[in-house]
């Protein structure tokens, strides 16, 4: 009898502590988990893009409260009298799979949601499942528009180029190159300078938090070419590089998805990178065609 009372008392104490934790300390009212075949930064960028799209199509305004290491983002959504907090956590499982956990809190109904969501199909639970499912479906559609293959450690050859220096947000680097293509190709044509290979994008600086790139848009030319002074078009040698390489197939607008994949790969395999990617384009977007057949070779050099 005494032993049974001890067990009952221990169970009551455990249950009391559990209820205190579950109702008042636990970080979320409800957590939704799923896996994605994408780099953490691709998902991170996808969350931000999806949130912006939601503000346009569904009139939902997401406010970013906190961001950390490109694998965590905390947002607030206010609709009417309700306020929701979404905490997205992204953790790499292996070189191709990321685990996504979304902790969700409703400010004015937290205890009610914690008591009902695990056991009943409440309106709150239905709405949150639908919301995260919409995001996951959109992410999967995006992932079908391109392919990334890790090629491992590789090297590039020294290349003499004519180039122009450009600056843009990361997502608009391809559009920025296209807008300025005529400046450099026109200069080379007018000065009878022959292009000897496919163009490059050489990152000079990358502000990851502000998502701003400074980069050189380069065309290979003969190293014996007579240098012509110009205020826009310059000449240089891109040095030989050694680093992690990947092959990207898809529209050049989203080739940074290969950067993200390489960065995750480096983290998982203890490589230190100098985050200044070099892209070598092997298809001409002006010719159109199937974007999944457009090929880009990418290298991110090792840090010295």
Start-to-end CA distance of the chain, whole Å, equals 71
User: CB-hemisphere CA count at 13 Å for 69?
Assistant: 9
Q: Strands 72-79, 159-169: parallel, antiparallel or unpaired by DSSP? A: unpaired
Q: What is the pLDDT of residue 224?
A: 94
- DSSP one-letter code for 23: I
Query: Do residues 278 and 201 touch, judged by C-beta distance below 8 A?
Result: yes
Query: Do residues 134 and 190 touch, judged by C-beta distance below 8 A?
Result: no
| Regions of the chain where pLDDT drops below 70 | 1-27, 109-112, 117
CA-based R_g, the chain, Å: 25
Two tokens, residue 281? 């384009």
pLDDT, one tens digit per residue, over 181-206 is: 999 999 999 999 999 999 999 999 99
- Could you tell me which residues come within 8 angstroms of residue 228 by beta carbon, excluding any fewer than 6 positions away? 191, 193
- Could you tell me which residues come within 8 angstroms of residue 63 by beta carbon, excluding any fewer than 6 positions away? 75, 76, 77, 78
Rounded Cα distance between 150 and 39, Å, is: 12
- On average, the pLDDT of the chain sits at 89
Helices (H), 144-276: 173-190, 256-268
Query: Do residues 221 and 161 touch, judged by C-beta distance below 8 A?
Result: yes
Q: What is the pLDDT of residue 253?
A: 92
CA angle 74, 77, 81 (to 5 degrees): 140
pLDDT, one tens digit per residue, over 8-28 is: 454 444 434 444 444 444 567
Q: What is the pLDDT of residue 286?
A: 78
Q: What is the pLDDT of residue 32?
A: 94
Nearest to 124 by CA among 50, 55, 29: 29
Q: What is the pLDDT of residue 12?
A: 44
* CB atoms closer than 10 angstroms to residue 166: 19
- Could you tell me which residues come within 8 angstroms of residue 73 by beta carbon, excluding any fewer than 6 positions away? 44, 47, 48, 64, 66, 67, 87, 88
Find tokens 């000065």 and name the residue: 191
Q: What is the pLDDT of residue 100?
A: 97
């Amino acid at each position: 009898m005494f032993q049974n009372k001890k067990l009952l008392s221990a169970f009551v104490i455990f249950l009391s502590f559990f209820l205190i934790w579950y109702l008042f300390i636990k970080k979320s009212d409800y957590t939704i988990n799923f896996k994605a075949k994408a780099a953490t930064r691709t998902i991170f960028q996808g969350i931000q893009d999806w949130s912006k799209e939601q503000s346009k199509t569904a009139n939902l305004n997401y406010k970013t409260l906190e961001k950390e290491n490109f694998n965590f983002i905390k947002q607030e959504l206010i609709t009417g009298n309700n306020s929701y907090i979404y905490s997205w956590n992204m953790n790499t499982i292996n070189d191709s799979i990321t685990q996504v956990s979304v902790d969700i809190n409703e400010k004015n109904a937290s205890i009610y949601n914690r008591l009902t969501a695990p056991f009943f199909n409440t309106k709150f639970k239905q709405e949150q499942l639908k919301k995260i499912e919409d995001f996951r479906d959109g992410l999967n559609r995006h992932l079908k528009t391109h392919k990334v293959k890790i090629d491992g450690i590789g090297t590039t050859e020294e290349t003499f180029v004519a180039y122009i220096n450009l600056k843009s947000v990361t997502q608009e680097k391809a559009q920025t190159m296209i807008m300025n293509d005529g400046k450099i190709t026109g200069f080379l044509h007018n000065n009878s300078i022959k292009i000897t290979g496919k163009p490059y994008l050489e990152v000079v600086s990358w502000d990851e938090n502000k998502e701003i790139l400074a980069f050189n848009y380069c065309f290979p030319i003969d190293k014996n070419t007579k240098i012509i002074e110009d205020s826009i078009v310059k000449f240089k040698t891109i040095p030989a590089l050694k680093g992690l390489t990947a092959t990207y197939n898809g529209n050049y607008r989203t080739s940074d998805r290969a950067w993200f994949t390489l960065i995750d790969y480096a983290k998982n395999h203890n490589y230190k990178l100098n985050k200044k990617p070099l892209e070598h384009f092997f298809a001409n977007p002006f010719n159109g065609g199937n974007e999944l057949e457009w090929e880009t070779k990418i290298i991110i050099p090792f840090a010295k």
